[in-house]
Chain A
């Protein structure tokens, strides 16, 4: 899957799950500034794990991503690892 398609799918999922305007979903967007809290963070992981069939929880280390751009990169890496 191309990075562009990953970004598109992540943005669509987050917009739906958290009722966000997709125009706010830019690579430098900070999760806290998007209005998401710790419960949302866990639910975001659940949504993305099921969508991409990846294991975020057991591969995540604190600091892996703090912005949406970081999340795009992280998910892309896990998808590549899965397909390797």
Chain B
């Protein structure tokens, strides 16, 4: 790969269940804070057995002019906030004219859809405001963020369920590496709705054993884990060619050196070790590095019985027993489309700081999840290269390889 096609991260923005900003995200993770709490409305819904969620605190979004804000739901507000921070940290006053935007969510706003459907069922569509159209369309976050921030380059609102954030970054990386574009804002965003928990509850994959102890409810790789805790947020990064970054004196957070994505076809809901292994090996191949060159894996690990086991087995098979592994979903829950990008940002920052958050609530490693070096206490770790995994219902697997920037 020529020097000009190296791709670096120069800006990062986060809105997480902790609140606004990358610094708050990293600080909270390193302090071992749980972002999860009881979501009272869940208690009254038949068919939902999990009562926990990770929702962002009240945030003032009035810095976004009304003409843009009127067509946004929370997921677009979150993403606009995160993208604004990403541009700012990239030392850009606004999006460069030819910058692209790759941004998606798992589904569009359930709250907006239910409001619209309710009017349809009441035969009162004449009462639905025009802005609802722009709130429910599948590319709603993409369109709204582009409008609000004047992002005039190519726009792609790719949706790959829970792998959306990482897949969008992967596509942007691939396009820059191939010379198709020079820079992009990319990532994922999602807003919490009880239907989200309902999806996993229906499949017996939502955490319910710790409904009275929310901070303990999400416990990746732990023997007492019982399922996913859904949450919300947005993670967006600004990536560009290394040449661009150096020419304009940008600070480089990390370098993206490899990416792969494949599809599990044995089951639409259950991942298998075979396809996860294939995905991680393809990512290594694209980065032209060997497993021994990787210091740690930030796992997708959502705290489900099957998913965590398959991922742990796969990581052990590819990287061997000494590979460091953590998951941030013990702290954050599963931020859905935002998870890949939010977690990538957090791990990249912690890599630079030389500290790494452990997997929260990993009190007793499930024997089925052994075979790797789980990070269980906060440690000063010298990480130079890590793999970020993101998997999704529907079969999408994605793995990205991030390296500390070296001149």
Binding site for B on A (CB under 8 A): 18-19, 35, 37, 39-40, 42-43, 46, 49-50, 57
Contact = CB atoms under 8 A, between A and B. Distances in A.
A46 B67 contact: no
Interface residues of B, number: 9
B67 A42 contact: no
B131 A46 contact: no
A50 B129 CA distance: 12
Contact of B130 (A19, A43, A49, A50): A43
Given A40-B70, A42-B129, 10 more contacts: A18-B66, A37-B67, A39-B130, A39-B131, A43-B130, A43-B131, A46-B127, A46-B129, A49-B126, A49-B127
B52 to A, nearest CB: 35
A35 B70 CA distance: 13
B76 to A, nearest CB: 16
Interface in B69-84: 70
A35 B67 CA distance: 9
Interface in B116-142: 126-131
Query: From DSSP, what is the main secondary structure of chain B's interface residues?
Result: helix
9 contacts: A18-B66, A35-B67, A39-B130, A40-B70, A42-B130, A43-B131, A46-B126, A46-B129, A49-B126
Interface of B: 66-67, 70, 126-131
Contacts of B129: 42-43, 46
B127 A50 contact: yes
A19 B66 contact: yes
A22 to B, nearest CB: 16
Contacts of B130: 39, 42-43
A35 to B, nearest CB: 7
Contacts of B127: 46, 49-50
A40 B129 CA distance: 9
Contacts of A50: 127
Nearest to A36: B67
Contacts of A42: 129-130
A12 to B, nearest CB: 17
Nearest to B62: A19
B148 to A, nearest CB: 15
B132 to A, nearest CB: 10
A57 B130 CA distance: 14
B223 to A, nearest CB: 52
A50 B70 CA distance: 19
B126 A57 contact: yes
A42 B67 CA distance: 14
Contacts of A18: 66
**Most chain-A CB neighbours within 10 Å: which of B70, B127, B129, B131?**
B129
In the complex, the 7 A-B pairs of residues with the closest C-beta atoms, listed nearest first: A43-B129, A39-B130, A42-B130, A19-B66, A46-B129, A43-B130, A50-B127
Nearest to B66: A19
A32 to B, nearest CB: 13
Contacts of B67: 35, 37
B306 to A, nearest CB: 46
A51 B267 CA distance: 51
Contacts of B126: 46, 49, 57
A76 to B, nearest CB: 22
A43 B66 CA distance: 14
